[in-house]
Chain A
Amino acid sequence: MKFVDEYRDAELARGLGAQIAALAEPGRHYKVMEVCGGHTHTIYKHGIEAHLPESVELVHGPGCPVCVIPMGRVDDGIAIAKRPNVIFTCFGDMMRVPGGDGSLLEAKAEGADVRFVYSPLDALKIARENPDREVVFYAIGFETTAPSTALTLMRAKQEGLKNFSVMCNHVTIVPPLKALLESPDLRLDAFIGPGHVSTVVGCRPYEFIPRDYGQPVVVAGFEPLDLLQSIFMIMRQLSEGRAEVENQYGRVVFWEGNPRALDVLQEVFELRPHFEWRGLGFISQSALSLSDAYADWDAELRYDVPGVRVADPKACQCGEVLKGVIKPWECKVFGTACTPETPIGTCMVSSEGACAAYYNFGRFAKPKARAGA
């Protein structure tokens, strides 16, 4: 496949792996967090760890939009979905996320009209085609997907489409990173910065990480060679004693981001004073809600939702996994009570979730690699 295969070349990967190994100081252990769930998926899908020396450990971060949705917000969505006249739309991953009492998929089997869409614009199309029904889009994601939700809302407003609304769960990337860096139970050496989020926000928002915490950040693309190259760039910074924000994904990410997209976000959204993140707890100013100008399209204002905070199941350790404090397999229920077909926690649901990625792809890669070594 053109423009993709070039980034999956095993020969180049071996070369980069050797260069990374050469930069690693003997006896030192490196912990590098990939913030973004898309990176986690690539790491496991292509088996990137096979090219890394054992002293370089990848720690999975909180950047999986499905994984960070707390149970209470799932329940709120289900409550709306179960209303008689509602067509409830969301991304496919979201449907299997367990709430306090079942998932959207189960609500669908019980009769709720839940449909998965690839884009919020598809939800808008459904609203146009079903003028006598109320269509709700359950919006999730970081700054990556927020602009498309914003554009959809702007279009709904232009068209005066009254049977459409959005339940907004958009979150922002910087506050959870700050929370992680302040967390006492995690010591990291560097960050692989999220690629697609950065196409919108640019590289500048991460400058506080090297400045205040002395750790390198390299914004990376999503192909396996992108990731290896970004790890190489991190190792080069560490070996030279530098800590800076660098951009590996220059073919897509501009330093200042996408000003047009940022303007759209500014118009449609405002910061919530605080928002609950699964496993991380409440983080202030870490999520978006619709601005007053779009209040008429705000599902949370339109419908009565329980809005109750639901505690995570006791056995579930998604929080620690999301913070990178434990590896997926160290969770007590991993792979036994909690599997992709019957997930307890969100990390086991999304293909970007650390647990699902490890369960589906990673389980055998490491022992196998060790046995072969």
Chain B
Amino acid sequence: MADLEEEVLARIERQRKLRPRFRDDRITMAHGAGGKATHTLVAGLFERAFANEALAELADAARLEVAGLNLAMTTDAFVVRPLRFPGGSIGELAVNGTVNDLSMAGARPVAITASFVLEEGLDADVLRAEAAAMSEAARAADVAVVAGDTKVVERGKADGMYISTSGLGVVDPRAQLSGRSIRPGDRVLCSGYVGDHGTAIMLARGDLDLDADVVSDTAPLWPLAKALLEAVAPALRVMRDPTRGGVATVLNELAADGDVGVVLEEDKVPVRSAVKGACEILGIDPMYVANEGKLLAIVAPDATDAALAALRSASGGEHAALVGEVADQPAGMVLVRTGFGGTRIMDMLIGDPLPRIC
């Protein structure tokens, strides 16, 4: 019977590894949640439609060689509700989210553009405040907002405002980053407390009647990325920022890219007790909750201590921790060792526990 069980499981794993097809009749909120449905949409529809080499990596930013320069380019849209939340706002999120996508590609952010979709009737002071927040965030991240566009839609067609950005960066010559370079034995590092952003938004909406002292972690990640590149560049395999879909989804993507297993030590992942408590009450696993100022890095084993030290000495990385290890099996999957002494699978996010968080 045990053999039969394993046979069934092996068949399922084979099926899971097939390239996804997008077969849905309609777009549901799950397609925007960053988890499995998003992955199916992107890989099954967009990647097929736009097929090219730079896109195929499906990384946070595309790397392009233009006239001898190694550039990184990215784009992002922000539809968060509410527009302001403890620890940040849509404007700040737009700048940081864009520079973080560049940073994770090992690129120093240089310039960003911003398009504003504004709803008729929006209070001009709200827009002024967001412009100020963006300007402040851009200054802090050392990028310029160099172009933009403005559109206005009828009342009721947008929740106040949406922002869409693009970003341009210069790839650090030391960066040799790819999910495919991950090897068994590599270590997984996390730059700090996870789950803050998603939890802060969830509480800020106020429909849960839950209070906790949690603020968004929105922050530029280039200082952390730069510290890692300077300290351990050749041993740095890959970096990702676990936004929508959280740590769980990013680790699944990396396990698939590297065709390796990732074993996460649940107890070692830093989670604030307020976040843990709120998630426990709502029945959400913090590993699936979005972050906007954290990174996961995979490094060769002998670079672990140097990488941790580099993260901890950079701004925003004080609580960095070694959280897991890469194994050869089960390829393409993430296992969690629970604090209770058990083991379980951690799949990509399925469905959408919490829409419109960024």
Binding site for B on A (CB under 8 A): 1-2, 4, 8-10, 13-14, 44-51, 92, 96, 105-106, 108-110, 118, 122, 224, 327, 329-330, 334-336, 340-341, 351, 359-370
Beta-carbon contact of A329 and B276 below 8 Å? no
Separation in Å of the A69 CB from the closest CB of chain B? Answer: 17
State the CA gap A364–B337 with chains docked (Å): 12
Q: Is B28 an interface residue (CB 8 A)?
A: yes
Least Cβ distance of B208 to chain A in Å?
A: 6
Interface string of B325-358 (1 = CB under 8 A from A): 0000010010100111111110100110100000
* A1-B273, A1-B280 known; A10-B341 Cβ under 8 A: yes
Q: Which residue of B lies closest to A117 (CB)?
A: B207
B12 at the interface (CB under 8 A from A): yes
Supply 15 further A-B pairs (C-beta < 8 A) apart from A8-B340, A10-B339, A365-B343. Answer: A1-B280, A10-B340, A13-B341, A45-B338, A47-B343, A105-B28, A118-B282, A224-B340, A329-B9, A335-B9, A360-B345, A363-B9, A366-B2, A367-B2, A368-B343
Q: Are A364 and B28 within 8 A (Cβ)?
A: no
Alpha-carbon distance A14/B282, docked complex (angstroms): 29
From B36, B338, B347, give the contact of A47 (CB < 8 A).
Answer: B338
A372 → chain B, closest Cβ, in Å? Answer: 9
Residues of B within 8 A of A367 (CB): 2, 5-6, 9
B344 adjacent to A364 (CB under 8 Å): yes
User: Known: A1-B277, A106-B26, A336-B11. Contact between A364 and B343, CB under 8 A?
Assistant: yes
CB distance from A66 to the nearest CB of B (A): 13
Nearest-neighbour CB distance to chain B for A161, whole angstroms, equals: 19
Q: Which residue of B lies closest to A372 (CB)?
A: B343
> B276, A1: Cβ atoms under 8 Å?
yes
Q: Which residues of A contact B345 (CB under 8 A)?
A: 360-365
Q: Which residues of A contact B335 (CB under 8 A)?
A: 364, 368
| Contacting pair A47 B12 (CB below 8 A) | no
Q: Nearest Cβ distance between residue A303 and chain B, in whole angstroms?
A: 25
The 14 sampled A-B contact pairs (Cβ below 8 Å) are A8-B339, A10-B340, A14-B341, A49-B342, A92-B353, A109-B28, A118-B282, A224-B340, A341-B30, A341-B40, A341-B350, A360-B350, A361-B345, A368-B343
Give min CB distance, A90 to chain B, whole Å.
Answer: 14
C-alpha spacing A2/B274, complex, angstroms: 11
Q: Tell me the bound Cα distance from A118 to B12 in angstroms.
A: 33
> Closest chain A residue to B271 by CB distance?
A1
Complex contact A46–B36 (CB within 8 A): no
Closest to B25 in A: A106
**Complex Cα–Cα for A99 and B218 (A):** 41
Do the beta carbons of B351 and A109 come within 8 Å of each other?
no
Picked from B9, B26, B280, the residue with its CB within 8 Å of the CB of A109 is B26
Listed from nearest, the 4 A-B pairs whose CB atoms lie closest are: A47-B342, A335-B12, A361-B344, A10-B341
Contact B28 A48 (CB under 8 A): no
Give every chain B residue within 8 A of A47 (Cβ-Cβ). Answer: 338, 340-344
Q: Does A364 lie within 8 Å of B207, measured CB to CB? A: no
- Say yes or no: B344 contacts A366, CB within 8 Å: no
Question: CA separation between A96 and B6, bound complex, in Å?
Answer: 28
- The answer to whether the Cβ of B124 comes within 8 Å of any Cβ in the partner chain is no
* Minimal Cβ-Cβ distance residue in A for B7: A329
Q: From A369, which residue of chain B is reached at the shortest CB distance?
A: B343
Cα distance A86–B347 when bound, in Å? 35
* A-contacting residues, B1-58, CB 8 Å: 2, 5-6, 8-9, 11-12, 15, 25-30, 36-37, 40
Does the CB pair B342–A51 fall under 8 Å? Answer: yes
How many whole Å from B1's CB to the nearest CB in chain A?
9
Most buried by A among B12, B26, B273, B343: B343
Q: Specify which chain B residues have a CB less than 8 angstroms from the CB of A118 in the assembled complex.
A: 208, 282
B-side contacts of A370, CB under 8 Å: 2
Q: Which residue of A lies closest to B273 (CB)?
A: A1
A365-B6 Cα distance, complex, nearest whole Å: 11
Whole-angstrom distance from the CB of A249 to the nearest CB of chain B?
A: 18
B156 at the interface (CB under 8 A from A): no
In the complex the two chains form, what is the Cα distance from A372 to B8 in whole Å? Answer: 20
A46 & B342 in contact (Cβ 8 Å cutoff)? yes
Contact of B283 with A by CB under 8 A = yes
Bound together, the chains give a CA A48 to CA B341 distance in angstroms of: 8
List chain B residues, Cβ under 8 A from A51. Answer: 341-342
Which of the residues A2, A4, A10, A341 comes within 8 Å of B37, measured between beta carbons?
A341
Which residues of chain B (223-258) have a CB below 8 Å from chain A? none
B340:A96 contact, CB within 8 angstroms: no
Q: How far apart sit A69 and B139, CA to CA, in the bound complex (Å)?
A: 55
Which A residues lie within 8 Å of B2 (CB)? 366-367, 370
Task: Report the Cα distance A62→B48, complex, angstroms.
Answer: 43
Closest to A11 in B: B341
Closest partner residue, chain A, to B261 (CB atom): A364
Q: Chain A residues with Cβ under 8 A from B343's Cβ?
A: 47, 50, 364-365, 368-369
The interface residues of chain A lying within 8 Å CB-to-CB of B340 are 8-10, 13, 46-48, 224
Once the chains bind, are B27 and A109 in contact (CB under 8 Å)? yes
A13 CA / B6 CA spacing, docked (Å) = 27
Q: For the complex, give the distance between the alpha carbons of A46 and B338 in Å.
A: 6
In the complex, residue of chain B having the shortest beta-carbon distance to the beta carbon of A122 = B207
Contact B347 A360 (CB under 8 A): yes
B187 to chain A, nearest CB (A): 20
Return chain A residues, CB-CB under 8 Å to B350. 340-341, 360
Given A341-B36, A341-B37, A335 and B344 touching (CB < 8 A)?
no
Name the residue among B37, B208, B351 with the largest chain A CB count within 10 angstroms.
B351
B185 to chain A, nearest CB (A): 18
Residues of B within 8 A of A224 (CB): 340
Residues in A with CB closer than 8 Å to B12 are 334-336, 363
Q: CA of A351 to CA of B344 in the docked complex: distance in angstroms?
A: 14
